[in-house]
Structure 1
Amino acid sequence: MFYLTKNLTLSIIFLLSISSFYTPTAFSQDQPQDLTIGILYDAQVYKESKFIDILEKEVPAVMGSSYNVTFPDKYQLSSEWDDDRAHEQFKLLQTDKEVDVVICLGVLGSTIAIQNKNLTKPTILWGVIDPKGQGVPLTEEGTTGIHNLNFILTSSSLKTDIITFHDAIKYEKIAVLFDDYIHHLYSPAKPLDRIVKDIGVEYTAFGVKQDIDSLLAQIDTTYDAVYASFMFKLSDEKKKELFEALAERGLYVFTAEGEEGVKNGALAGLKTEDKFDIISRRIALNIEAIFYENTNAKDLPVRVDYEEKIVLNAAVAGQLSYLPKWNVIFNAEWIDAVPEESELLSLENVLDEAIAENMNYKASQFGTLSGDELRKVANSALMPTISASMAGTWIDQPTADRAFGTRAERQLLGTLELQQVIYSEKVFVNARVQKYLQQSREAGNEQVMLDVVYQVSIAYFNLLYAKTQIQITERYLESTKRNLEIAQLRENVGYSGNSDVYRWQSNLAQSEQQVIDANLQERQQMLVLNSLLNRDMSSPIFVKDVELTDGIYAGLASEGMANLVKDPISLLIISDYVVDRAVLQRPVVQQYAAQMLAIQRQQSSDSRNRFIPEVALQGSYNRFLARGGSGTESITIPGGATGLDPLDQNWNISIVASIPLFSGFQKNRNYQKTKYDKLQLEAQQQQINLDVEKEVRSALYELASTSTNITNSREAMEAAQKNFEIVRDNYSKGRVSIIELIDAQNNAFESEQNAANAVYQFLQSSMKIQRAVGTFSLLQTDEEREQTTEDINELLQKLDR
């Protein structure tokens, strides 16, 4: 009997187990189940958010092929902030049998869901401002504990915003703005009272309607700052108008709308790059837990943490003269800080401005103009000299009586004199010497201009390099943050202890300091460039990056002169060519050549001046303009029939030749001095030629080095970055230690710096060789550039032979 019963039982179990493969449940594993999601929006603006597009893709992706996830339009309901309508729509979603999950987006829908005591289906909320104040005190596990209820509580909250804003501004009285419907639906006083008590400030909450004028009338200058929560009913134009008016009153505005609010004119906000992705993923995972793991929504965690970054409006910060802390300045994202294309300065723009505004070059130009006046003064000695004079005399009567009419008692005499150099070695040589000296001054002025162009170009490249360093250090900072997250995950799974976490936290602090240092270095380079351009030292400069193929490097980029120094023979040929050009056109060489002409002319003059006289033409014309008293009457010559009237005018003209017979050996001494001056200048000329040749050849060696270093350093960077990714992946899997990852990251960081440095070193080398030659391609005419190209092509042909 027992045996039969046992066999019957086993048979029944076997049959049941076989039949289970043919039950509707088993069959449904091959046919996906329908999962309908209904959403209650507070307003259409929620529905139009890109978050919905992300959510509609994320949930089906997480649920997989076992569920046919849909978001039917008839269950996408918007209350438009109408309380009665929202209650009706929420009831519809809760009672409709086709809806499997209800999502409420907004404060109104979330508040209605919380107030509902009997949720018939899983309900997920995103719009809870203050869980405790809204009647959802969280459990110790961070869940709601309410049947079928879960909500999203992000790290971005009213408390976070208010405290972050206070840390940045240190306000004492703040106006807090809420959408009017939120202000009446849920009083924000409770959470605000707790928040402001902790930081010790005063506040007033305002409901925002369409009429912003009445709102502005209530926010007077006793307030230091304004916190603007989400104001969905206001258009972007209205928000801009509101924020602009508050800024004009000197009020700092923090917006809960993050980057969008800052773009509308708020001073600051918080931003998360992938906020919508994180929230949608959490909602999708919660739905997965509910339907795959049969977890009640009340037992799902509500907290969602993500990293936020402060966003600042550069224009508003300038208007308010707001200067945040260094770490805020350099770690924040700035809106309106990126200049327009027209504001970006190219190297050509900077050089043009430097030539027009640089004070050293202006001083040199004025000195050259002053020297040219000396040349004109020397030439003026070759021109005739005409002078006019007038003399009035009054002598005693007896003397006038005995002067026989040649001198009146009172007389006024006008004189006109003429002098003209016919021959004067001193005058002639001075005119010629001043001409040569002016040529020397002009060459010196040209050298100053070349020095300014070189200094400005180097400052420009240094600023570009500093900007690149900011980008590199920021990437290094983000990489360190990522490694810290990996270390925290390793600690959670038992791959490592907390020492790795501490090490990465230490590296994170160092990385943040590197970002600060890089930004300060950029500001220092701005000071250098501002000084060279004679600009306001505090004004920012936005520079445009350059490419190695830019026309400004004609004949010097990778396809030009750099290509000619790729081997020793090529380097030798191009060096001789460039040295020959430099000796001919380098301004400092031309400066010494002009001085040599001047001293040679002076020497020949000193030699002849000892034997050649000076010849000049002199003449004068005198006229008595007035006479009075004794001596003005006619003179009667004894025995003469008539008297003679005094002469009213007379003139004379003469040629004078003079030669000093003895001047204390002065001429001989001058001759000897000029001789030694010439010998000194000859030595200086030889040395300057050597210096120019040395500078040219050294610049070419540097160009050869930097041109090859670009390729090598770039290859090293790519290899180091690949190695870093491999080591990081192995570190995340527990295969390598933190020391290996730190070494790999540091190597990748240094190799990227080296690669960037190689580019800018090449650019600096290209400008150095142009300065050494004595001309910059940017300052050349098209014909001169074409001639340079032809010369280089000829060199290339020689090398090919």
Structure 2
Amino acid sequence: MLIHHTLRGNHMRRNILLLYLLLCCSMISAQNGKEYSIAILGDKYIHDTDSILNRLQSEIKSVVAQEAKVVFKEQYFLLNELNKEKAKQNYEKAIQANDVDLILSFGSINNFVIAQSNNFPKPVVLFGVINDDFIEFPEGQKSSKIENLTYILTPQSYQKDLSEFREMYPYKKVGIIVDQYLSEIYPVEETLGKILKDSNADFKLISLSSVDDLSSELDDVDAVYLSGGQFYSEEDQQRMINMINDRKLPSYTSMDQRFSDFGILFNSQPVNELDQFFRRIALTIEAAVMGKKLSELPIYLDFESKLLLNIETSFKIEFPLKYSFLIRTNIVGSAQNIPFQKKYYLDDVVYQLLESNLSLKASKYDVDLAKKDVKLANSEYLPNLSSSLTGSHIDPDLAKASNGSNPEFSTSGNISLEQVLFSEQASANIKIQKELEQASQENYNATEKDAILDAGITFYNALIAKANFLINDENLRVTRKNFEIAKQNYSVGQTGKSDVLRWRSELALATQNIVNAYTNYVQTIHALNQVLNNPIDFKIDIAHALVDEEAVDQFDYKGLIQLIDDPILRSKLLNFLEQVAIENAHELKSLQFNISASERSAKLYQRSKFLPTVALQGAYNHTFTRDGEGSSYPTGFTAPPDGYYNVGVQLSLPLFNKNQRNINRQKSLIQQDQLKLQKENTESIIRQNVNDIVYSILNLYTNIELSNLTTKTAKESLDLMQISYLNGAVSITSLIDAQQAYFQAQQQQASAGYNFYLSLLQMERILSYYFFLNPDEENQNFIQNLQNYLISNNQ
């Protein structure tokens, strides 16, 4: 009996439950059968109106589905085309239509027209492009207090935007662009005057009916706030932004996000804008369907804003960006598109270096001075011709007593000639100076090769700095995205607030890193400009075949790398490279010329004991005038001729010169030994450098392949971690670790690539032979000589 009673009780409860479910389904079916028609009033059609409208309608139907069947009839989607009369007609049509239950109004014109009505026979929801500045409610009022009317107001306003813009850029006179139709129906100028009254800034209202009118309006402003042009074509919107940027004027807007793509500098946009707006509209309509009073519904919609910064525009207009504000911005645009006046590849750098570098020009004078020393040495064998003119007056008594040999007044002239016929000192000096000239030339060649290497190091350092800046730019964007994910997860209760705070900290760190990276990049560009003798602030871009698909290596290094990578051929290759490096080394050539000069100097001091200096001497004297006492010879004396000459040969041989010749010869011999040791040591260093650089190249070449693979794997891991974190499957620590691993891999990849090419450049410097600067013919000869060497030493 007990079991039967229990079973019967269970059967009865099951029947009651089924009856309840049937009644609920019947009620839902009855509710779904209720049709609720909504008219939508808009200002003007724009390119994405259809997609936005479809999303809005889907959201409304989804939210209200339990209360009624919402319908949107095509004949009640009404646009006024920015015409007030048309807007009134559309509103009246919707009011009078029996099959319209609620009016949803968007846009400034519609909202202005509808707000003028005194009563609202049908529920009206006003939402759209109208700033909070133009609607005044008593302080503390949070609903419309008007029967059948509610607003959905956002915190967007001129006051908020202009205040934030002024934080970013302290403008003195801002041009505020609005549509002409808006300034005709709203007190825009009066409102702006109140807003900027206490800001110490002036403004200029630019009321536009056509983009063509804009250019002439920008002459006397130093910044632009864009609040118009929403209904222009994309071509006109782009043209408008170009006009602003061409004037290098900072700009700000809070309109559509696509204005950032067009190049507006700052753009304030709500986070998850459409989702929030659509849900709020749907909930408001749901309340109206359920019979709630619209006059009591909340009118304010708060949302979090994000500030977009177009990094390309900031570079283009040379905007003085405060790095402290980067933490508040979302960077859009490619940081790689930095404006420049000239683009440099490595060979461009080298050619301009050789032509314009001040240090090289200064070093070149050493060669010129050495050439002059050679000419000075040769001049010892040139004749020395001199002349003189003398006028004299002597005591008359003395002149009289001289019997005509020393007249009281006389004028005379003299021409003398000296010509060295042979001098061991002069001959040796000519030879020594020629050797020193060759040494000076080789020193300059070495300096030139060093300058090319130094320029290459500066160039590759700038490339690495640029790569790090771009990597940190991407890191900042990914961190910002993860921060948004964390806030989204927190809002739905999927993660705690600690994740949001941690990502905020990561965001601050990423922002500081990009500031440091950009500063470092600018400093490396300044260093490169100094090398190139450009103005320090000259805007240049640098590129390389490693990342630029349009560029190619001037020399195919792959064959050389294959030989380096071959353990059997590597030792033979090293021997060949050692020989080439020693043969080409300017330092060794310079030392050899100095050794030759020292040897000739030693011979000079040895030979000068036995070899005399032979010189030819000649002179011609002429007396022009003789007057006064003693000007005539006594009777019986024959007067000498007025002019006479003399010629002679002089031989001189210093017998003992304080032992200085012997001491100088000993010094020359010591100098020879010193130079020979330096040469031997230099050869040893060159051999070591060849071996070191070859193994360094081999190591870096291997690192390139490994870093490429590591970066690819790390990127895939980061993508998976982001998805898992979004779904709550992994912790914040795992995502941060994945992100750090990816960006560290990117930095290692960039460093490995550029350091590999830098090592190749260093190898070329050791060889004193830069492949990319030599014609293909010479490079082919180099390769052919290498192949012949490997074949001949194949035993």
TM above 0.5: yes
Deviations 1:664-701 (A, max 9, x none): 11111111110101001111111111122222222212
**1:294-343 residue CA offsets vs partner (Å, 9 max, x unmatched):** 9779679855545221347558855xxx6342234796668999466862
Q: Which residue of 2 aligns with 1:325?
A: 322
Equivalent of 2:653 in 643, 651, 659: 659
Match of residue 611 from structure 2 = 612
Matched, 1:790 2:791: no
Using the TM superposition, give the Cα deviation of residue 395 of structure 1 relative to its aligned residue in structure 2, in angstroms.
Answer: 2.8
Rounded Cα–Cα distance in structure 2 between residues aligned with 1:280 and 1:173:
33
1:579 corresponds to 2:578 = yes
CA change 1:497–1:269 in 2 (3 A) is closer
Comparing 513-522 and 733-742, the one that deviates more: 733-742
Matched with 2:135 is: 133
Task: Tell me how far apart the structure 1 counterparts of residues 101 and 435 of structure 2 sit (CA, whole Å).
Answer: 98
Question: Which deviates more from structure 2 when the two are superposed, residues 494-503 or residues 573-582?
Answer: 494-503
Is the contact made by 1:589 and 1:685 (CA closer than 8 Å) also made in structure 2?
A: yes
User: Which residue of structure 1 aligns with residue 48 of structure 2?
Assistant: 51
Equivalent residue number for residue 430 of structure 1:
429
Q: Which residue is 1:230 aligned to?
A: 228
Q: Give the deviation of 1:391 after TM superposition.
A: 2.2
Deviation of 1:633 after TM superposition, in Å, equals 3.5
The separation in 1 between residues aligned to 2:770 and 2:145, in whole angstroms, is 73
After TM superposition, list the pairs within 5 Å mapping 1:2-401 onto structure 2. Answer: 40-41=42-43, 47=45, 49-52=46-49, 54-55=51-52, 77-80=79-82, 82-92=83-93, 106-115=107-116, 117-118=119-120, 125-130=127-132, 133=135, 151=152, 153=154, 157-170=157-170, 176=176, 178-188=178-188, 206=205, 208=207, 227-230=225-228, 254-255=252-253, 268-270=265-267, 302-303=301-302, 305-311=304-310, 313-314=313-314, 318=318, 323-328=320-325, 338=337, 343-401=342-400
Tell whether the 8 Å contact from 1:239 to 1:264 is kept in structure 2 after alignment.
no
1:772 aligns with 2:774: no
Q: Is the 8 A contact 1:466 1:522 kept in 2?
A: yes
Taking a change above 3 Å as real, the CA distance of residues 424 and 755 of structure 1, as seen in their structure-2 partners, is same
Answering whether residue 667 of structure 2 is matched by residue 673 of structure 1, we say yes
Equivalent position SS for 1:535:
coil
Counterpart secondary structure, 2:728: coil
Which has the larger displacement, 127-136 or 687-696?
127-136
The C-alpha deviation readout for 1:390-432, integer Å capped at 9, x for no partner, is 2222233454455555543322222222222221111011111
Does residue 523 of structure 1 match 2:525? no
- Match runs of 1:446-485 below 5 Å: 446-485=445-484
* Structure 2 counterpart of 1:743: 737
Could you tell me how far apart the structure 1 residues matched to 2:376 and 2:683 are?
33
The verdict on how the C-alpha distance between 1:511 and 1:365 changes in structure 2, with shifts beyond 3 A counting, is same
Q: Distance in 2 between matches of 1:357 and 1:256?
A: 49
Distance 1:257 1:391, change over 3 A: farther
Measure the CA separation in 2 of the matches of 1:145 and 1:571.
91
Give the equivalent residue in structure 2 for 1:489.
Answer: 488
Q: Report the alpha carbon displacement of residue 475 of structure 1 after superposing the two structures with TM.
A: 1.6
Aligned with 2:131: secondary structure?
Answer: coil
Deviations along 1:451-504, one digit per CA (max 9) or x if unpaired, are: 221112211111121121111112212222222223233334444322222211
**Aligned-pair CA distance for 1:94:** 6.0
Matched, 1:704 2:698: yes
Single out whichever of 663-672 and 770-779 deviates more from structure 2.
Answer: 770-779
Q: Distance in 1 between matches of 2:474 and 2:336?
A: 19
- Per the alignment, residue 592 of structure 1 pairs with 591
Separation of aligned partners in 1, 2:524 and 2:304: 39
CA shift at 1:608, angstroms?
Answer: 1.3
- Could you tell me whether the CA contact under 8 Å between 2:335 and 2:470 is conserved in 1? no
Aligned partners of 1:794, 1:35: CA distance in 2, in Å? Answer: 91
Contact 1:262 1:335 survives alignment (8 Å): no
Unaligned regions of 5+ residues in structure 2, if any?
1-11
Change (3 A) 1:360 1:204: closer
Distance 1:144 1:482, change over 3 A: farther
Instruction: Give the match's secondary structure for 1:623.
Output: strand
Deviation per CA, 1:1-56: give whole Å up to 9, x if none: xxxxx9xx99xx99x99x99xx9999x9xxxx999986632xxxx53x44336536
Q: Distance in 1 between matches of 2:552 and 2:427?
A: 45
Q: For the structure 1 residues 424 and 73, does the alpha-carbon distance in structure 2 shift closer, same or farther, using more than 3 Å as the test?
A: farther
Tell me the CA shift for residue 127 of structure 1. 0.8
Secondary structure of 1:426's counterpart equals helix
**SS of the residue aligned with 2:598?**
helix
Closer, same or farther: CA 758–160 of 1 in aligned 2, 3 Å: farther
Residues 552 and 777 of structure 1 are in contact (CA less than 8 Å); yes or no, is this contact kept in structure 2? no
- Cα distance, 1:218–1:289 mapped onto 2, change above 3 Å: closer
More deviation, 449-458/117-126: 117-126
CA contact (8 A) 1:555 1:561 kept: no
| Aligned residue number for residue 409 of structure 2 | 410
Gap change, CA 1:556 and 1:505, over 3 Å in 2? same
Q: Deviations over 1:176-203 (max 9, x none)?
A: 5543432342234797588658x75566
State the 1:438 CA deviation: 1.0
How is 1:546-561 mapped onto 2 (pairs within 5 angstroms)? Answer: 546-547=545-546, 554-555=554-555, 557=557, 559-561=558-560
Aligned length: 759
Instruction: Find the residue that maps to 2:132 and give its secondary structure.
Output: coil
Does residue 1:724 correspond to 2:718, yes or no?
A: yes
CA–CA separation in structure 2 for the residues paired with 1:125 and 1:793: 80
Secondary structure at the residue paired with 2:656?
coil
| SS of equivalent residue, structure 1 residue 625 | strand
TM-score when normalising by structure 2: 0.80
Q: What percent identity do the matched residue pairs reach?
A: 22
Could you say if the C-alpha distance between residues 775 and 215 of structure 1 is closer, same or farther in structure 2, counting changes exceeding 3 Å?
Answer: closer
Deviations 1:244-286 (A, max 9, x none): 99x79xx9764556888799998x53266xx8x9656666667
Distance 1:448 1:107, change over 3 A: same
Distance 1:413 1:527 in 2: 69
Residue identity opposite 2:602 in structure 1: Q
Asked if the contact 1:176–1:229 (Cα under 8 Å) also holds between the matched residues in 2, the reply is: yes
CA contact (8 A) 1:179 1:233 kept: no
Separation in 2 of the partners of 1:71 and 1:371?
96
Distance 1:577 1:150, change over 3 A: farther
Instruction: For structure 1, list consecutive stretches of 5 or more residues without a partner in the other structure.
Output: 1-5, 639-643
- SS of the aligned residue for 2:541 comes to coil
Kept in 2, the 8 Å contact 1:583–1:692? The answer is yes
- Name the counterpart of 1:514: 513
- The AA in structure 2 aligned to 1:127 is V
Q: Residues 177 and 208 of structure 2 are in contact (CA less than 8 Å); yes or no, is this contact kept in structure 1? A: no
TM-aligned CA deviation for residue 663 of structure 1: 1.1
Match in the other structure for 1:648? 642
Quick one: structure 1 residues 133 and 292, their matched pair in 2 at CA, closer, same or farther if it must change by over 3 Å?
closer
The equivalent of 1:641 in structure 2 is none
SS at match of 2:713: helix
> Normalization by structure 1: what TM-score?
0.80
Aligned match of 2:4: none
Distance 2:204 2:286 in 1: 44
Amino acid at match of 1:787: N
**Contact (CA 8 Å) 1:564, 1:796: kept in 2 or not?**
no
- Give the whole-Å Cα distance in 2 for the aligned partners of 1:329 and 1:376: 65
The residue identity in structure 1 corresponding to 2:108 is: V
Residue 745 of structure 1: SS of its match in structure 2?
A: helix
Map of 1:419 onto structure 2: 418
